[in-house]
Amino acid sequence: QTFCKRCGQPFVCGVVAGQAHCWCFDLPHRPLREAGGRDDSAGCYCPACLDKLVAEVAANFRNS
Check pLDDT > 90 for residue 9. Answer: yes
- For the chain, the farthest-separated pair of C-alpha atoms sits apart, in whole angstroms, at 40
Using DSSP, state whether 41 is helix, strand or coil: coil
CA separation for the pair 32, 27 (Å, rounded): 13
Task: Decide if 44 contacts 8 (C-beta within 8 A).
Answer: no
pLDDT recorded at residue 61? 77
pLDDT tens, position by position, 21-59: 999 888 877 666 554 444 445 678 899 998 898 888 888
pLDDT recorded at residue 35? 47
pTM over 0.85: no
Amino acid in position 60: N
Q: How far is CA 13 from the centre of its chain?
A: 11
Average pLDDT of span 9-29: 89
pLDDT recorded at residue 36? 43
Task: Decide if 58 contacts 27 (C-beta within 8 A).
Answer: no
